[in-house]
Amino acid sequence: MSEYTITVVKNENPKPKPASDQLKFGKYFTDHMFIYDYSEAKGWHNPRIVPYQPIVLDPAAMIFHYGQTVFEGLKAYRTKEGHIQLFRPDKNMERLNLSNDRLCIPAIDEEFAINAVKHLVHVDSEWVPDAEGTSLYIRPFIIATEPYLGVNPSSMYQFIVILSPVGAYYESGINPVKIAVENEYVRAVKGGTGEAKTAGNYASSLKAQEIVSKEGYAQVLWLDGLEKKYIEEVGSMNVFFKIKGEIITPELNGSILNGVTRNSVIELLRHWDLPVTERRITMEELDEAYRNGELEEAFGSGTAAVISPIGELAWGDKKLIITEGQTGEVSKRLYDTLTGIQFGSVEDPFGWTVKVK
């Protein structure tokens, strides 16, 4: 099908690549990007890989005013053998379309989008770093481009994919972080956009994040917006707790992001025959388990850090020191197995990895 043919314009002036040990998160970008246009008359059309270049938009383009936009985040990993592979890109594109639906953005063809990502990564394959723990972060996003100040869905969009080589999230491997429970600000609420991966959710989180980071905390733990009772998620991670052997994560309720890592953690735990439950859990319950010595582990899950053990949880005046501030056994096993599968050093019994040609 001709509309499925991606044209490629090679960058004749490739940039120098940063050294593998100099990588940061989201600071460097590769030589190419993918662009795909949408208009009401043509639908999604003109898919192309072009040199990395600025986006040029009318100042009235709706993205600048009404935030009609969605995004995704996944990674390409280089295996020991030098191959490149993606981790569950189908899940990301499925979620992109869920986000699209919530934001009134026309759906994309998921399979085509996966192929576009693969094609782009292939073109920039020299940018996939090979040092321990490094990878190529992939950022697909869609923006409303119609120049019009009415509060309506746009009639024009661009679907863009950019790539960024990133370092190991923790320089010294997996490392517990300090998290603060947020009691004032709200990220999302049922009926809102919390389940969608859309810019506004992140904009609204900046203030709380800024306050706690001044106090030395890495991220905030969000409570539900209605009662400020139920645990939702952490910054840009989903969250798990191990209480008396049971591993608990908040159930998907419409205001929590359905994380790909969260889903992979649940499947792995089931595969290992460990008890894992998706259910509502309050800070009170967590605190009580802590005081009874029954809170054994806590960790976040997300594409950036994979598994992030929580060593300390501040809740008002209380400080919960979890697993003595160390990395718990289950956290470690999940981290090793997931990163092992992602980098190809551990067998993948789930068919999660997808080779880039």
Ligand X SMILES: Cc1ncc(COP(=O)(O)O)c(C=O)c1O
**Cβ 260 to a copy of itself, closest distance in Å?**
17
| Contact present, 160 and 140 (Cβ < 8 Å) | yes
58 binds, among ligand X, a copy of itself, none (CB under 5 to 8 A by kind): a copy of itself
Query: Which of the stretches 17-25, 63-71, 103-111, 256-264 binds ligand X when contact is defined by CB under 6 A?
Result: 256-264
CA distances from 80 to 19, 83, 85, 318, 340 (A): 18, 7, 11, 45, 11
Restricted to residues 71-90, the positions that interact with a copy of itself (CB under 8 A) are 71
User: Based on CB atoms, which residue is closest to a copy of itself, 209 or 238?
Assistant: 209
Q: Is 99 in the site for a copy of itself (CB under 8 A)?
A: no
Return the range that interacts with ligand X (CB under 6 A); candidates 16-24, 167-175, 213-221, 296-304. Answer: 296-304
Q: Whole-angstrom Cα distance, residue 70 to residue 164?
A: 18
Question: What part of residues 223-242 is at the interface with ligand X (CB under 6 A)?
Answer: 233, 236-238
Q: Residue 153, Cβ neighbours under 10 Å: how many?
A: 15
Distance from C-alpha of 283 to C-alpha of 197, rounded to nearest angstrom: 25
For 40-49, b where at least 16 C-beta lie within 10 A, e where not — what string?
Answer: eeeebeebbb
**Could you say which residues in the range 160-219 bind a copy of itself, by CB under 8 A?**
160, 162, 164, 184-193, 198-207, 209-210
Smallest gap from Cβ 22 to ligand X, in A, equals 24
Stretch touching a copy of itself by CB under 8 A, among 80-88, 97-105, 119-127, 280-288: 97-105
Out of 4, 21, 130, 149, the residue judged to bind a copy of itself by CB under 8 A: 149
Q: Which of residues 50-89 bind ligand X (CB under 6 A)?
A: 73
Residue 259 contacts ligand X per CB under 6 A:
yes
Judged by CB under 8 A, the residue of 86, 96, 103, 220 near a copy of itself is 103
By CB under 8 A, how many residues form the interface with a copy of itself?
A: 66
Among the listed residues 105, 257, 313, 338, the single contact to ligand X using CB under 6 A? 257
55 interacts with a copy of itself by CB under 8 A:
yes
Q: Which of 57, 32, 52 is nearest to 143 (CA)?
A: 57
As a whole number of angstroms, the distance between CA 108 and CA 90 comes to 12
Listing DSSP states for 105-166 in one string gives PPP--HHHHHHHHHHHHHHTGGGS--STT-EEEEEEEEEE--B--SSS--SEEEEEEEEEEE
User: Which tokens sit at 230?
Assistant: 């139920």
Beta carbon of residue 169, minimum distance to a copy of itself (angstroms, whole number): 12
H/E/C letters for each residue in 298-318?
EEEEECCCEEEEEEEEEECCE
Judged by CB under 6 A, does residue 261 bind ligand X?
yes
| CA 257 – CA 146 distance, rounded (Å) | 28
Helical (H) or strand (E) element with 30: none
15 binds a copy of itself (CB under 8 A): no
Q: Which range touches a copy of itself (CB under 8 A), out of 67-75, 85-93, 110-118, 273-281?
A: 67-75
Show Cβ contacts of residue 348 under 8 Å, excluding neighbours closer than 6 positions. 341
CA angle 334, 335, 337 (to 5 degrees): 65
Contact positions with ligand X (CB under 6 A) in 299-318: 301-303
The Cα–Cα gap between 244 and 277 comes to 13
Contacting residues toward ligand X, per CB under 6 A: 73, 233, 236-238, 257, 259-262, 301-303
Given the rule CB under 8 A, which residues bind a copy of itself? Answer: 25-27, 29, 33, 52-61, 63-69, 71, 102-104, 137, 139, 141, 143, 147-153, 160, 162, 164, 184-193, 198-207, 209-210, 225-226, 235-236
